[in-house]
Amino acid sequence: MTRRLTKHVVAFALVALASARVVPQTSTSTASAPPPAAETGTPSVPWAAGEYLEYTLKVGFISAGSGRMQVIGRDSIRGRTAWRLNFNVTGGFLFAHVNDSYDSWMDVQTLNSLRFLQDLSEAGYKKKRSYEIFPDRATYSESGKEEQKSVDNPLDDASFFFFVRRIPLEVDSQYTFNRYFNPNSNPVIIKVERKETITVPAGTFSAIVIQPVIKAGGLFGEGGHAEIWLSDDNRRILLQMKTRVPVIGSLNLYLRKYRNTQEVSPPPAKTP
């Protein structure tokens, strides 16, 4: 059961926030994504090497583990300088335990994915996957296998979340995303619902609330409901996530610790 729950958490917090070709469909406003950066320029981003976010994972009111999202630093992949990103979930529920890690290398100039690793250990199940992603020819390969068709300006699970932090999110707007490196997982729709002030273990923040909808169905399909709270400032850090899981009930993430999320940033909002 933990294996299933953890996969939902990771897929939601990362894949569901995939960035892509943004197609605003709004009732009250219009929004657009910044264009991909040129090869000769380095785009401004709201993160830096050393950024670290830590979360408490709860099933209902029961603490079931923790999650960590971080920018390890910069690395070189096939002659390209890349951000090294990592997301890790550890914990247990009943008699099952999990330790999953996702690593991504994101080109600092184009913000495209270059490499993606999964290292999963869930209730006796272990699996490692390695993907090489080639944006210049819109293909990818898994663990040295034959290349397969990808998409333009590809992104993977971890890089999706970081890229969406650069997208202007306007309330009552709807965005369509088609940049996941495996075309079978596209599209993702992001609905921007509202703004509010929330309190999590890390403090009190002004937040913008979004709802992801994955056309493929499942927990985050059109028939379900899940919400993500991002900080309503230029950092756009993940503050909180709430979902409803059949049989289990609520499955939630809460920010409890963070550092170096931006050298200069506004303080958390004060409670009204």
Comparing C-alpha atoms, which of 16, 39, 58 is closest to residue 219? 16
Comparing C-alpha atoms, which of 217, 122, 155, 223 is closest to residue 17? 155
Quote the CA–CA distance of 268 and 253 in Å, as a whole number.
19
Comparing C-alpha atoms, which of 106, 3, 59, 110 is closest to residue 253? 59
96 close to 76: Cβ distance less than 8 angstroms: no
User: What is the model's pTM?
Assistant: 0.78
Tokens 């830590």 -> residue: 54
Tell whether 123 is covered by a domain: yes
Mention every residue, 6+ apart, whose C-beta is less than 8 A from residue 186.
20, 151, 177, 178, 179, 180, 215
Comparing C-alpha atoms, which of 175, 251, 186, 169 is closest to residue 212? 175
Mention every residue, 6+ apart, whose C-beta is less than 8 A from residue 219.
8, 12, 226, 243, 245
Tell whether 200 is covered by a domain: yes
* DSSP-derived 3-state class of residue 189: strand
pLDDT confidence of residue 120: 81
Quote the CA–CA distance of 130 and 198 in Å, as a whole number.
37
pLDDT confidence of residue 248: 58
* DSSP-derived 3-state class of residue 267: coil
**pLDDT, one tens digit for every residue, the chain (272 residues):** 444 444 545 544 444 444 333 333 443 333 434 444 444 468 899 999 999 999 998 877 888 889 899 999 999 999 999 999 998 888 776 666 778 889 999 999 999 999 999 888 766 778 899 999 999 999 999 987 999 999 999 998 888 888 878 888 899 998 888 888 999 888 878 889 999 999 999 999 999 999 887 654 443 444 457 899 999 999 999 999 888 765 556 778 899 999 987 643 434 444 44
pLDDT confidence of residue 122: 67
Q: Please, what sign has the CA dihedral across residues 99, 200, 166, 172? A: positive
| Beta bridge partner(s), residue 97 | 92
pLDDT confidence of residue 145: 92
* DSSP-derived 3-state class of residue 163: helix
Q: Please, what sign has the CA dihedral across residues 251, 257, 259, 263? A: positive
Quote the CA–CA distance of 71 and 68 in Å, as a whole number.
10
> How confident is the model over 170-188, as pLDDT tens digits?
999 988 888 889 998 888 7
Distances in Å between the Cα of 106 and the Cα atoms of 48, 116, 135 are: 13, 9, 11
Tell whether 171 is covered by a domain: yes
Segments forming the whole domain that contains residue 129: 2-259
pLDDT confidence of residue 177: 81
Tell whether 226 is covered by a domain: yes
> How confident is the model over 36-81, as pLDDT tens digits?
444 446 889 999 999 999 999 887 788 888 989 999 999 999 999 9
Tell whether 62 is covered by a domain: yes
C-alpha neighbours within 13 Å on the C-beta side of residue 58:
16
Structural domain count, the chain: 1
Tell whether 266 is covered by a domain: no
